[in-house]
Amino acid sequence: MNEIKFYRASGEYGFLSNLFPCKIDCYNKTFRSSEELYQYGKPKNKEIAEWIISAPKQHLVAMAAHGLFGFDIVENWNEIKVDRMKECLKIKFLQHPELEEKLLATGNLILIEDSKTDALWGIGKKSNGKNMLGVLLMELREELKNSK
């Protein structure tokens, strides 16, 4: 096996999912997951951002954010969303040393977000998506290794 596929926030590699429950302190707020932290930056209006992260479950946070109209989203979202995700992942793993250790324990294995519905962050329906979440996690893993 030279790869790890993850999708749900449960199981051995569930910690790799953005929906994995872990408190993250940022912007003088406590977020319930890296998904909340990420989606908090998407709306132009902070009132909408607060509404999104008030969803009772993490998958609903994502669903609410995906349902925003273009005029509710920060102007340059498509240009900044990958960098924002990278920053959110970095904050998550640096604030949770136990998760950082688990990420480092994945060694040099390829990390694949096995989402059939998301061809940007996951592998998509035809398994030819960009897997950006996996790519960013592998980049972060290298940064963390090099900082030790």
> Based on the structure, what is the number of domains in the chain?
1
Tokens of 145: 């290794």
Domain at 72, CATH number: 1.10.357.40
- For 126, the domain range is 3-147
- State the pTM of this model: 0.94
Tell me the per-residue pLDDT of 69-110, one tens digit each, with 9 for 90 and over: 999 999 999 999 999 999 999 999 999 999 999 999 999 999
Task: Enumerate the H helices of the chain as residue ranges.
Answer: 34-40, 46-53, 58-66, 77-95, 97-104, 132-147
What is d(CA 126, CA 46) in angstroms, rounded to the nearest whole number? 36
The whole-chain average pLDDT of the chain stands at 96
Cα torsion 61, 65, 33, 135 to 10°: value is 130
